[in-house]
Structure 1
Amino acid sequence: MLFSKSEETSVTKISSLALFNIKGGSLMRCGSLCLEDHCCKEFKYSQLDSRRCVGIQFKDFKSTINTHSVITGCETGWFEFKGHCYYKGQTKVTWSDAKECGKMCSYLIEIESKEEADWISATFLDSVNCRPDIFFDCTAWTGLNDLDIEGTYVWDHSNGPLIFSNWHHQEPSLLSKSEALTKDCIDILRGGVWNDRPCSYLNWVICEKTF
């Protein structure tokens, strides 16, 4: 689909919906990129704007309605917080299996502020059914890990470095080298604090995506 005149001047407005936003390709290549990504429901191409190609995802990935407009918001079952949508899975899985968030065009949560951590805890983890020990039951995987370099934490989806952190006062386990080597995946506990665990631990999953 080609950009209209008005759309060419507002590409930045859809950047938060863009799966890719590149320049220099052909119209055919742009369409191919969209076909190759199961989350891409529409592409826009501008010959005048340096042959810009933008792949767009929608809030309802099963819908084919309104494909000529940009739709924002979270689909049913997802919760919105500051421009992002969040969903808690129905079963406990290992960290590697939790990356199946990708099948829903999303990724394991990447927490950027204490406000976000507190919101995630209040929305998904706080429950009267939780055991008193916050390290069990009501916890969930994040995308944070130090699988590649011990003690160097990165976010799985963005591959970004750890800038904001909210560790439990006893974590992470870096003071015990033998223990740290077995705990490379990070989860969030009640109260929004973080803990490192073995990646094989069965944990709840919270997926995140931008709308």
Structure 2
Amino acid sequence: MVMLKTLGLVSIFAYFSLSAGEENRCSRYHYEEQILSKVVRLEHRLELLEDKVTNKTEISSQNPTCAQCPDMWIPFHGSCYRFVDEQLTYDNARSHCIVHEAHLVHVDTELENEFLSMYLRALKDASFWIGLADINTEGKFEWDGSSKAVSFDNWGPGQPDNAGGKEHCVHYYDQAKQNYKWNDHVCGRLFKSICEKRNSS
């Protein structure tokens, strides 16, 4: 706040300095009126800036999600996500997430799916493991470490197809022009992955 007020005083001084040359062309009264008007406008702008800073501080303290995710993790709706660049098998990707006290991502809603797709489009990478598989029972896809039913899906055309009877693990893939969809694939294939964990708030 002190910094903003100092900035305001510096700006006011600058206005006085820049306007000094007008004194010869304007009446003293008109000149002082102009300066007063500029000062009032600057004070008003300073008040608006102070309000914005105060509001941001209040919002941050009420909703500290951003501050609750570790470095390299991205916050979204109460969870933290990490896009793992190393190419791993499904099992190794799963273990990598567990080491970081997380799990391969569970995509529960369309909103969460759009958030993840947005990042994948920005990364411009093709394939990332998610925590969905039908390893235990063919055709019954379950989220890793959870018995909850799959409430949302984002399968690509004709998927899942269990090609060759060997595809049991699910990954995001770039279906066409960065339109990321799900596909079942051989679990031993090397892909990047997405880890997820709840934030600490």
Residue 98 of structure 1 corresponds to: 93
Is 1:188 the counterpart of 2:172? The answer is yes
Query: What is the TM-score normalised by the length of structure 2?
Result: 0.60
Q: CA–CA distance in 2 between the matches of 1:111 and 1:157?
A: 13
Aligned to 1:160: 148
User: Residue 5 of structure 1 aligns with which residue?
Assistant: none
**Residue 42 (structure 1) aligns with:** none
The number of equivalent residue pairs is 129
Which has the higher mean CA deviation after the structures are superposed, 183-192 or 196-205?
183-192
- Structure with max Cα Rg: 2
Q: Which residue of 1 aligns with 2:57?
A: none
5 Å-filtered alignment, 1:52-201, equals: 73-99=68-94, 100-123=96-119, 125-127=120-122, 130=124, 137-173=125-161, 179=163, 181-190=165-174, 191-201=179-189
SS in 2 for 1:151: coil
Offset of 1:81 from its aligned partner? 0.8
Tell me the CA shift for residue 119 of structure 1. 0.9
- Contact 1:121 1:189 survives alignment (8 Å): no
What amino acid maps onto 1:209 in structure 2?
K
- In the alignment, the residues of structure 2 paired with residue 158 and residue 117 of structure 1 have an alpha-carbon distance, to the nearest angstrom, of 18
What are the superposed Cα offsets for residues 163-183 of structure 1, whole Å, 9 maximum, x if unpaired?
211111221105xxxx26200
Maintained 8 Å contact 1:117/1:193:
no
| Contiguous gaps of at least 5 residues in structure 2 | 1-65
Identity across matched positions, percent: 29
Aligned to 2:23: none
Offset of residue 192 of structure 1: 3.8
Structure 1: which 5+ residue stretches go unaligned? 1-70, 131-136
Shift of 1:87: 0.3
Higher RCO (CA 8 Å, separation ≥ 6 residues): 2
Q: Which has the higher helix share?
A: 2
Contact 1:172 1:195 in 2 (8 A): yes
Structure 1 residues 109 and 180: CA distance shift in structure 2, 3 A: farther
Deviation at 1:72, TM superposition (A): 6.4
Partner Cα distance (1:86, 1:180) in 2:
32
Deviates more, 1:165-174 or 1:71-80: 71-80
| Alpha carbons 2:109, 2:151 under 8 Å: kept | no
| Partner SS for 1:117 | helix
Which ranges of 4 or more aligned residues in structure 1 deviate by more than 3 Å?
none
Taking structure 1 as the reference length, the TM-score comes to: 0.57
Is the partner of 1:164 in helix, strand or coil?
A: coil
